Chain A
């Protein structure tokens, strides 16, 4: 089976006032159709950079991304992005937000009534049909993210890119959203790349977990196959040995093999190599909500 998406040996170098900063080095990954892949790693390791390169929002310094045999050179709706902070247009209702995307993507192929049905279908998929004529400031954070997902799904993308989609939500809402996402995935079997900080989320949702090493010059450390049967149930899995093993595999990678060498608490040496762009220790970088 040939890969749907080929991230082929990409390097990413950012120019900074202090000289070039290598964020990514030789990231190489093939993703098959219908696969759900999570990218996990410490903050600032370049997960988002990988996603932005795939989305076409950044251009890789070396290497490239091939989707369906075509090289990615600019953003496009076939690589829909679910942004971390929902990015809904605050002056439009949930329906209009999805409509903007649908009108743009299907303006030649769908009639007016088909578009309306398609928008409503996607909002129904994320259980937002009851509030589709509300504006973003009238609905909760979880609901906004649902609309964000509906907008991305409505573009009928070849691959869905999710940048910490549930990162800004509280734990219960997040669990609820994960269940919703699994339900949608069951139905549509999309190809997904999701960035996450959350080990449980990664194991629960993914077919493969791609673990990234710390930056600078971050790359893929290990890839873990998750062969848990679907549909998955978070309660049943909590006592599942395989689940526990996979979870501890990821934890081991993150906290033993890729343990931060930063000495933030003890002695803050200036020669400490693992720093982000601002030269701050990575562990201290505030999580963007």
Chain B
């Protein structure tokens, strides 16, 4: 645009140059500056790492961590090959037995090898998303009801205010005991440990979601409510057509907040309860205490950070896609 407007001016030869300059400035800002920041960080990290001696050897620098990433991926591949081989052996054996005795019904036994780093990432992601979705299913309708009814708000508010500041980790023992008591089945659909972690995540997600949804609903422009009254929209249609869209930006703010907290809490819960996931990986490595352990933990820390960042970006993208209010989702 700038180039086109400037082209009519006497100094037209400078116009493309200007454009290139602006373009260059943008590139510098978007790529070069963050890159410089990362390089400085890596430098400081490696210098600091060399000077820290722990009982497990030197603190891992960027190089050591990078190696561990490779090693972790390698382990995962080896484990997968082993698993494939295990099933193949089983199949061959079963085929043999069936050939010998046609009445034999072959049994397939599941592979019970060690969970790799990548498996743990998968477990943690599934857990956090399940807990988060369960919280959304409970919290958003509750938040809408609380936002619509002053009486309900007055009734529920003290409870929310008291439970909101409680770290979900404090709930963890209670959740574990209750799940053990109530979730008894000879052939469980999901393991108990998964349920424990998931419910802990739900407990931490639910409060910010209820609060943000109810505030969003309660602060709807009264003119919009009047429009609905003049049209005599029935209650359900009022919620569907006016309340829900109007409070979508606030609902998403609550969801983003709680997903961020949930991811942090989940790692801690997995460490504490030894439930499968990234937290368990970190704890196992710590207990293992080999010379590679610190590097592997550092690799896990970086992965945890990246996943947290991606979860937040994902929510932001979803908000941009769903919400009408583009201004509130550009942050």
Residues on A with beta carbons closer than 8 Å to the beta carbon of B226: 57, 75, 81, 83, 87
Say yes or no: B230 contacts A77, CB within 8 Å: yes
Interface residues on B, range: 10 to 19
- Give the distance to chain A from B230, nearest Cβ to Cβ, in Å: 5
Q: Which of A69-122 contact B (CB under 8 A)?
A: 74-77, 79-81, 83, 85, 87, 89-91, 100-101, 104-105
Q: Which of B214-235 contact A (CB under 8 A)?
A: 221, 223-224, 226-227, 229-233
- Does residue A23 face the partner (Cβ distance < 8 Å to B)? no
Say yes or no: A87 contacts B223, CB within 8 Å: yes
Q: Which of B233-258 contact A (CB under 8 A)?
A: 233, 237, 241-242, 245-246, 248
A7 to B224, CA, bound (A): 26
Which of B227, B230, B237, B248 is A89 in contact with, Cβ under 8 Å? B227
- Does residue A135 face the partner (Cβ distance < 8 Å to B)? yes
- Give the distance to chain A from B163, nearest Cβ to Cβ, in Å: 32
- Give the distance to chain B from A137, nearest Cβ to Cβ, in Å: 9
Which residue in chain B gives the minimum CB-CB distance to A97? B227
- Does residue B183 face the partner (Cβ distance < 8 Å to A)? no
Which of A80, A85, A90, A135 is B230 in contact with, Cβ under 8 Å? A80
Which of B221, B232, B241 is A76 in contact with, Cβ under 8 Å? B232
Interface residues on A, range: 20 to 34
Say yes or no: A77 contacts B229, CB within 8 Å: no
Residues on A with beta carbons closer than 8 Å to the beta carbon of B325: 90-91
Which residue in chain A gives the minimum CB-CB distance to B241? A100
Say yes or no: B245 contacts A76, CB within 8 Å: no
Interface of B is mostly: helix
Say yes or no: B232 contacts A75, CB within 8 Å: yes
Say yes or no: A75 contacts B230, CB within 8 Å: yes
Residues on B with beta carbons closer than 8 Å to the beta carbon of A89: 224, 227, 241-242, 245-246
Interface of A is mostly: loop
Q: A91-B245, A135-B324 are in contact. Are A57 and B223 (CB under 8 A)?
A: no
Residues on B with beta carbons closer than 8 Å to the beta carbon of A57: 226, 229-230
Residues on A with beta carbons closer than 8 Å to the beta carbon of B232: 74-77, 104
A74 to B226, CA, bound (A): 11
Q: Which of A47-72 contact B (CB under 8 A)?
A: 55-57
Residues on A with beta carbons closer than 8 Å to the beta carbon of B229: 56-57, 74-75
Say yes or no: A77 contacts B324, CB within 8 Å: no
Residues on B with beta carbons closer than 8 Å to the beta carbon of A83: 223, 226-227
Residues on A with beta carbons closer than 8 Å to the beta carbon of B242: 89
Q: A87-B223, A87-B224, A89-B224 are in contact. Are A81 and B230 (CB under 8 A)?
A: yes
Residues on B with beta carbons closer than 8 Å to the beta carbon of A74: 229, 232
- Give the distance to chain B from A195, nearest Cβ to Cβ, in Å: 15
Residues on B with beta carbons closer than 8 Å to the beta carbon of A81: 226, 230
A100 to B245, CA, bound (A): 14
0 or 1 for each of A8-52: is its CB under 8 Å from B? (1 = yes): 000000000000000000000000000000000000000000000
- Give the distance to chain A from B60, nearest Cβ to Cβ, in Å: 50
- Give the distance to chain A from B216, nearest Cβ to Cβ, in Å: 13
Say yes or no: A104 contacts B245, CB within 8 Å: no
A105 to B246, CA, bound (A): 22
- Give the distance to chain A from B243, nearest Cβ to Cβ, in Å: 11
A168 to B230, CA, bound (A): 22
A80 to B223, CA, bound (A): 13
- Give the distance to chain A from B215, nearest Cβ to Cβ, in Å: 18
0 or 1 for each of B20-58: is its CB under 8 Å from A? (1 = yes): 000000000000000000000000000000000000000
Q: A90-B324, A90-B325, A91-B245 are in contact. Are A79 and B231 (CB under 8 A)?
A: no
Interface centre among B226, B230, B241, B245 (most CB of A within 10 A): B230
Residues on A with beta carbons closer than 8 Å to the beta carbon of B248: 91
A99 to B198, CA, bound (A): 43
Say yes or no: A77 contacts B227, CB within 8 Å: no
A116 to B230, CA, bound (A): 21
Question: Which residues of A pack against B, CB within 8 Å?
Answer: 55-57, 74-77, 79-81, 83, 85, 87, 89-91, 100-101, 104-105, 135, 155
The 6 closest A-B pairs by CB, nearest first: A91-B324, A87-B223, A75-B229, A91-B245, A75-B230, A104-B231
Question: Which residues of B pack against A, CB within 8 Å?
Answer: 221, 223-224, 226-227, 229-233, 237, 241-242, 245-246, 248, 324-325
A-B residue pairs in contact (CB < 8 Å), sample of 16: A56-B229, A57-B229, A57-B230, A75-B232, A76-B230, A79-B230, A80-B230, A87-B221, A87-B223, A87-B224, A89-B224, A89-B241, A89-B242, A90-B324, A91-B245, A155-B231
> A89-B224, A104-B231, A104-B232 known; 4 other A-B pairs, CB under 8 Å?
A57-B226, A75-B232, A85-B223, A101-B231
